[in-house]
Amino acid sequence: MAVLNKSCVHVYTGNGKGKTTAALGLVLRASGAGLKVSIQQFIKSGNYSEIKALRKISNVDLAQCGRKSFIKGKPSEADSECAKRGFEKAKDDIFSEKYDLVVLDEINVAMKLGLVNTREVAAIIKDRPKSVEIILTGRDCPAMIKEIADLVTEMREMRHPYRRGIKARRGIEY
């Protein structure tokens, strides 16, 4: 396993498109360099185009802990259970030191919805093995997480095709 000299914590947040895409670009780079990658997707489930591609990369492990439907309003007990299982797996992956890079996709939204405890996420970031790089994605990243991250990028929507009536397209948005 390749070991990073110094790991960092990345946050990709904001209301613009591209947070997961940025994380997956780094996954592609890391996997090409021989790093072992774990991706834990919170509040997402489905066999999207990127999921199909990621499953073909031998040094990338992917788990989804969401239901098939979007969360509207208050999360259900099933949403809460999915997030709890996903968070436990993410912690296991981070502390196993089996992975060089762990992506917590949409965890910011899971924290905002109260499905994952922000203080617990912050503690994991602070206590992680220093050889493990972590990426957190999703809108509404809590200030506590932004403060301890090494890199924070905010995607800001300036224009989006959806606003002109162009629906999500397979291979581009999903």
pLDDT in tens, 98-123: 999 999 999 999 999 999 999 999 99
As given in the structure block, the two tokens for residue 28 are 């592609």
As given in the structure block, the two tokens for residue 95 are 């502390």
Q: pLDDT band for position 69 (50/70/90)?
A: low
Nearest alpha carbon to residue 135 among 20, 55, 48, 50: 20
Domains contained in the chain, CATH given: 9-164 (3.40.50.300)
SS3 101: strand
Tell me what percent of the residues of the chain surpass a pLDDT of 70: 96
pLDDT at 116: 96
Decide if 33 contacts 2 (C-beta within 8 A): yes
Cα separation of 43 and 49, whole Å?
A: 17
Q: Is the pLDDT of residue 133 over 90?
A: yes
Q: What's this model's pTM, rounded to 2 decimal places? A: 0.92
